[in-house]
Structure 1
């Protein structure tokens, strides 16, 4: 299958800025069986490329002139052929698995998650049972946090989403990660793309998010709580982190006053 991506992120400033910097984590990390046919990231000002501490490719745009808006676009095509049940990667891990147990950020866990993981600790410690246990965790998250737009923000924590009982893919991924780490299973946040031309899938008009958990012998295995699946060939990973902030598709800072509004529109669809 072949997929086409058109993704635009726009910042509109209340007052002009003399300098803004935007970090873009939208360069694909293909899995086995995936191939990037073409990929282009465009933005304003000076461009630089670097790799962050989590191993993500970052493109930075620095606009050092007077401007009141910034537009960053991605156009790409990727394809998948294969029959794997989950995405498999041949990359060498940038960080050791225990690093991803850190209890921090938007995926921070506390005693409120004990109700979700009740009865699973012993099985989660058994490598042979871990995948089955994590699928059960994913199902429990889906029952406790309904997929609903407009009830959370990019700063909503896993605990807040669990207490509210509703959220989007980002919130469900954070809650899944929190449960994993409370079970002593390394887990991390993933940002990427999933087709949004299929009404059966919970995917917004933005990039998508899911989680990966460490399974001995299999290494990183993906879990998409929003859709209760392990991501496969139509899910394209672009960045990983401890939470959303580490793997945000686009983040920025600027010199100036007033507010800023961000709008995002992404189309990910099957093409011939």
Structure 2
């Protein structure tokens, strides 16, 4: 599937900014199941200071805000060729050893709620893939998809306590539970081609588990599927914080407002765009000075 992405993030500051830095993870990876054909990023009110691939092989741009800026706009556009993979993204590669994906983080540290959830799953733990499918179903049943109840700092334990959350929260609970069983787990941030529309409010998040013999396998708990050709992987990490599309700090500026415009569409031969039908879930996953 040939997918086109147009993603604009606009920050408006109440007062002029004296200094600011942002770390952007917005360019998808060319990896198993997807190839980035073209990608551009344009900045207003900021400039690129450095570009590099981080410890997770995420393409990262470090940008500085122009002194006195009251508006910063980041516009990304590109096209990505994807293929059906049934959620399997292949064997592990990169700088991070697999054991790093077993360690708890602040967002995924397991407590009594996560332990109780794992204990409730009636599936053969020797069948890792089968157990993970059962676990993903259990997480979806335990956490109702409901926007506005959590934010980017909400932990897996807190999500299970309230029983409400969005895609990011589903992923963190799933990751926390899997690590209790010594299964390497990671967070994935990216784009999803919604089946009923192109225009969206923000990107999407899901989880991947490392299964011996298969490699990394994706689970989108919010949509009850393994990622397919509608998904574009942008960044991975041990939790959302390591895969967040935008993080940053700024001095001055006062109150900050954030506006995101995102379109993910299928491009057919001849340049036509096509919409499909179905359902998807997403959460605004932008952070920075005054997290959104």
TM-score norm. by structure 2 comes to: 0.84
Q: Which residue is 2:101 aligned to?
A: 100
- What residue in structure 2 maps to residue 72 of structure 1? 74
Secondary structure at the counterpart of residue 60 of structure 1: strand
Q: 1:270 aligns to what?
A: 266
Structure 2 equivalent of residue 150 of structure 1: 148
- Stretches of structure 2 that go unaligned for 5 or more consecutive residues are 269-292
| 1:253 match: secondary structure | strand
**1:242-257 alignment to 2 at 5 Å?**
242-256=238-252
**CA contact under 8 A between 2:9 and 2:74: conserved in structure 1?**
yes
User: Is the 1:197–1:268 contact (alpha carbons within 8 Å) kept by the matching residues of 2?
Assistant: no
Q: CA deviation at 1:171?
A: 0.7
Unaligned runs of 5+ in 1: none
Change (3 A) 1:33 1:180: closer
Equivalence for 2:60: 58
Q: Do structure 1's residue 236 and structure 2's residue 238 form an aligned pair?
A: no
2:206 matched to 1:210? Answer: yes
| Alignment-derived partner of residue 110 in structure 1 | 111
Q: What is the Cα deviation at residue 257 of structure 1? A: 5.2
- Contact 1:18–1:66 under 8 Å retained in 2: yes
Deviation at 1:197, TM superposition (A): 4.4
Q: How many residues align?
A: 266
Structural mapping, 1:114-153, within 5 Å: 114-118=115-119, 123-124=124-125, 126=126, 129-153=127-151
Secondary structure (helix, strand or coil) at the match of 2:15 reads strand
Residue 145 of structure 1, CA deviation: 0.6
Match of 2:275 in 1: none
Show the counterpart of 2:160: 162
Alpha-carbon displacement from aligned partner over 1:13-57 (angstroms, at most 9, x marks no partner): 122102221111012123434222221122243312012223211
Q: Distance in 1 between matches of 2:182 and 2:110?
A: 11
Provide closer, same or farther for how the CA distance between residues 33 and 101 of structure 1 changes in structure 2, counting only shifts above 3 A: closer
- What is the RMSD computed on CA atoms of the aligned residues? 2.2
Which is further off, 33-42 or 179-188? 33-42
Alignment check: 8 A CA contact 1:19 1:65 kept: yes
Query: Which moves more between the two structures, 177-186 or 47-56?
Result: 47-56
**What is the rounded CA distance, in whole Å, between the counterparts of 2:42 and 2:124 in structure 1?**
47
| More relative contact order, 1 or 2 (CA 8 Å, 6+ apart) | 1
Moved over 6 A (4+): none
Contact 2:190–2:233 at 8 Å: present in 1 too?
A: yes
Any conservation in 1 of the 2:29–2:35 contact (CA below 8 Å)? no
Secondary structure in 2 matching 1:18: strand
Corresponding residue for residue 176 of structure 1: 174
| Shift in CA distance, 8/88, structure 1 to aligned 2, threshold 3 Å | same
Aligned 8 A contact 2:172 2:239 in 1? yes
Write the distance in 1 (CA, Å) between the matches of 2:228 and 2:240: 21
**Normalised TM-score (structure 1):** 0.90
- Is the CA contact 1:3–1:270 (under 8 Å) kept in the aligned structure 2? yes
